[in-house]
Structure 1
Amino acid sequence: MKQRVITALLLAPVVLACILWLPPAVLMALIAAALLGGLWEWTRLVGITSPTGRALILLAHAAAMAWLAWYGWKELFPWVVLTGVAWWLAALAWLRRPAFGKADTVGNRSLKLGVGALLTIPAWCAFALLHDDGALWALHGLLLVWAADTFAYFSGRRFGGAKLAPSISPGKTWAGFWGGLFGVVVLSMLMAPLLGVVLPQLPTLIAVSLIAGLASVLGDLFESLIKRQAGAKDSGSLLPGHGGVLDRIDSLLAALPVFATFKAWFGL
């Protein structure tokens, strides 16, 4: 736990500074690098062992991001984000059948590689759309996930109780789930004035943030399922106390597309 707190305290100011002050093009390149780092770990989890093959997969995804940005990102990104939201709805069905895709076959590896694109590219597009509306909106999209994760961790430790999904992630409890959503509500109320959200809009902001908070749980559980199928405890070991990159961004991969979509839908 000590390592986890130290790593978070060191990274938080860096992330905040990047979001608030870096030029958008540079920031989006860094976000792409982080997502591709998670994708690198994903390729190992799904059974791709060749470093050359994994590198080519990353190169293909980077090229897809560059193509989307070059050929009209404001027109293309919303559709990519919607595709990501549709994928996460499908992921709900996958979680209900945790044995699906477990066998190490060419078909299952191909399926999971395709899922890798649906995890990373829509999240990248969603972050860009949020940041285009204002750096603080992008920051809120990140903070709501961190608030949910932090409140869930301490609520789960304090109250314990019934497990949320024992066959997928035995450490998660319903107390942590509700505590995480409470954290999202608290954060939304604190961020509302900074986001320019007036009082009549506050319930909408809270509702949209809660939907994204629910999606963050889905992202976390889905990565846990894939790790369990791969027989891995963590996706990697890059971040002390936190596991790999994918372990830190799994919730964001689901929350960002959902948050961007519902934010636009409700006109925030």
Structure 2
Amino acid sequence: MTRTRLLAALVMAPVAIGAILLLPTPWVAALSAVIFLAGLWEWFDLAEIEDTLARTVLLAVHVAMIAAIVWASRTSAGTTLALYQLASVIGVIWWLLALAWLGRYEFASNHDTYARVFKLAAAALAMIPAWCALVWIHATVPNGHRWLLTALAIVWAADSGAYFAGRKLGKRKLAPRISPNKTIEGLMGGLVCGLLAGIGFALFAGASATQLPAVALVAVVAVLFSVIGDLFESLLKRHVGAKDSSHLIPGHGGILDRVDGVIAALPVFALGKALLGF
């Protein structure tokens, strides 16, 4: 499984990095919307929306929300990022609420109608702000494309660090009822790797030495939020008895399995970058 996981990552990573660094923001926005919407389709499975028509309508609603944000952000001078920024703030607030949800395992777990409503609302509050944060970061001048790569590299490095540290050193369970394989040692490994990646890629993005402490702080918080996103998806899977969101990516599961940490980390990184001024 580890070899398959690495091979898949070696294929996906260069494509993602090339797109982030070489494409203009509208193209990155469009491609990322496709990826997030694919993850959203898998989320519908975890919310037990089985009817294809219902899922299609729900997906169309989210497409309409994205289109509305793009349309409303147009100005005579170009584009304003105000709505993207507001959505990112909403995303950070949502993931703090999701942390409280993680502490109440049974909440919305009985598969009744109200459970689906909560899980569908969670999908919108997770996916739309994450997409807005991604666009906001990439559109920032100067070097927005490099800062977006930094944000993603933090999550990727943290995920890999947690995986390998957990396998080699993991003894104490982090959240045994939600995700039995996650350990505190894995979390520590993820924090270290995410922090190092954040500092290294921030220098690539043009950060000065005086800005590195702020970058380090945001990187640590982003990693912690990515863990919340990962655990929340695990909670949804536990509720329905699923191991992966799909089997689309060999060794990695589905799209949602790959972006669960990203969608939680992007809003906090975007907001932290703006507040701390790097």
Please, what TM-score do these two structures have when normalized by structure 1?
Answer: 0.98
Alpha-carbon distance in structure 2 between the residues aligned to 1:176 and 1:103: 31
Deviation at 1:44, TM superposition (A): 1.0
Deviation at 1:161, TM superposition (A): 1.1
Q: Report what 2:108 is aligned to.
A: 101
Note the 1:63-82 alignment, pairs <5 A.
63-72=64-73, 73-82=80-89
The answer as to whether partners of 2:88 and 2:129 remain within 8 angstroms in 1 is yes
Are 1:116 and 2:126 an aligned pair? no
Deviation at 1:2, TM superposition (A): 1.4
Q: Report what 1:26 is aligned to.
A: 27
SS at match of 1:234: coil
Deviation at 1:193, TM superposition (A): 2.0
Q: Report what 1:190 is aligned to.
A: 200
Q: Aligned to 2:270, which of 240, 256, 260?
A: 260
Q: Report what 1:243 is aligned to.
A: 253
The amino acid that maps onto 1:78 is Q
Q: Report what 1:40 is aligned to.
A: 41
The amino acid that maps onto 1:14 is V
Are 1:210 and 2:220 an aligned pair? yes
Question: Which runs of 5 or more residues in structure 2 are unaligned?
Answer: 74-79
Alpha-carbon distance in structure 2 between the residues aligned to 1:126 and 1:188: 17
Deviation at 1:192, TM superposition (A): 2.8
Alpha-carbon distance in structure 1 between the residues aligned to 2:237 and 2:203: 39
Output one character per residue of 1:104-145: Cα deviation in whole Å (capped at 9) or x when no partner.
Answer: 111111111111101100000000111012100111111100
Alpha-carbon distance in structure 2 between the residues aligned to 1:36 and 1:150: 24
The answer as to whether partners of 2:227 and 2:261 remain within 8 angstroms in 1 is yes
Output one character per residue of 1:49-71: Cα deviation in whole Å (capped at 9) or x when no partner.
Answer: 01111111111101100110111
Output one character per residue of 1:29-83: Cα deviation in whole Å (capped at 9) or x when no partner.
Answer: 1100000000000011111001111111111101100110111151211111111
Q: Aligned to 1:144, which of 154, 157, 163?
A: 154
Q: Report what 1:17 is aligned to.
A: 18
Alpha-carbon distance in structure 2 between the residues aligned to 1:96 and 1:180: 22
The answer as to whether partners of 2:153 and 2:198 remain within 8 angstroms in 1 is no
The answer as to whether partners of 2:173 and 2:181 remain within 8 angstroms in 1 is yes
The amino acid that maps onto 1:205 is V
SS at match of 1:98: coil
SS at match of 2:81: helix
Alpha-carbon distance in structure 1 between the residues aligned to 2:206 and 2:6: 31
Q: Report what 2:76 is aligned to.
A: none
Q: Report what 1:166 is aligned to.
A: 176
Alpha-carbon distance in structure 1 between the residues aligned to 2:169 and 2:129: 35
Alpha-carbon distance in structure 1 between the residues aligned to 2:17 and 2:136: 18
Please, what TM-score do these two structures have when normalized by structure 2?
Answer: 0.95
The amino acid that maps onto 1:35 is F
Number of matched residues? 268
Alpha-carbon distance in structure 1 between the residues aligned to 2:257 and 2:85: 26
Alpha-carbon distance in structure 1 between the residues aligned to 2:202 and 2:124: 33
Alpha-carbon distance in structure 2 between the residues aligned to 1:5 and 1:184: 18
The answer as to whether partners of 2:151 and 2:198 remain within 8 angstroms in 1 is no
Deviation at 1:93, TM superposition (A): 0.7
Deviation at 1:185, TM superposition (A): 1.7
The answer as to whether partners of 2:160 and 2:190 remain within 8 angstroms in 1 is yes
Alpha-carbon distance in structure 2 between the residues aligned to 1:39 and 1:235: 10
The amino acid that maps onto 1:256 is L
The answer as to whether partners of 2:245 and 2:254 remain within 8 angstroms in 1 is yes
Select between 181-190 and 248-257 the one with higher mean Cα deviation. 181-190
The amino acid that maps onto 1:71 is A
SS at match of 1:170: strand
Deviation at 1:23, TM superposition (A): 2.3
Provide the aligned C-alpha RMSD in A.
0.9
Deviation at 1:195, TM superposition (A): 1.7
